[in-house]
Amino acid sequence: MAEAKKGDRVKVHYTGKLKDGSVFDSSREREPLEFELGGGMMIKGFDTAVTGMQVGESKTAEIAAEQAYGEHNDEMVIEVPKSQLPPDLKPEVGQQLGMQQPNGQSVPVRVTKVLDESIEIDANHPLAGKDLVFELELMEIS
């Protein structure tokens, strides 16, 4: 039976969990995830875990933070004066915002603190610094 290898298009059902067992994402209630293995679309640890699997095979893969979304970077947590925010914005902890970079690209950020004169925002991926566990089932290789 064929094994999934770099360059293959694969379809995978997955359930992503944190080490405490809480689920952060799953494809089980929708179509399987389709991507090119080794094409740079997925986190490195996910690609590595699917490589070598056969259609119909299931497995659980533990992926360390550095093979997932990287370590949490404190330099990506910044304080922004409220005077620089749109006047109609009412920031709340946990709120998702888009921050405009000098090149015009929008970066998603999360509000982590609301102070009197400023807010603290975090541009790290929400799963940065976390080890992940994926339950995988390879559905198709093409």
**Is 83 inside any structural domain?**
yes
Beta strands in the chain (DSSP E): 9-18, 23-26, 33-36, 58-63, 77-81, 96-100, 106-114, 118-122, 132-141
Tell me what the mean pLDDT of segment 74-96 comes to: 94
Over 90: is that where the pLDDT of 73 sits?
yes
**Is 31 inside any structural domain?**
yes
Over 90: is that where the pLDDT of 12 sits?
yes
Do 79 and 112 lie in one domain? The reply is: yes
pLDDT of residue 135: 98
pLDDT of residue 1: 78
**Average per-residue pLDDT in the chain?**
95
Range of the domain at 31: 9-70+127-141
Do 14 and 49 lie in one domain? The reply is: yes
Over 90: is that where the pLDDT of 99 sits?
no
How do residues 16-40 score in pLDDT, each as one tens digit? Answer: 999 999 999 999 999 999 999 999 9
Which DSSP state fits 1? -
**Collapsed DSSP state (helix, strand, coil) of residue 119:** strand
Over 90: is that where the pLDDT of 133 sits?
yes
Over 90: is that where the pLDDT of 93 sits?
yes
Do 81 and 103 lie in one domain? The reply is: yes
Do 94 and 131 lie in one domain? The reply is: no
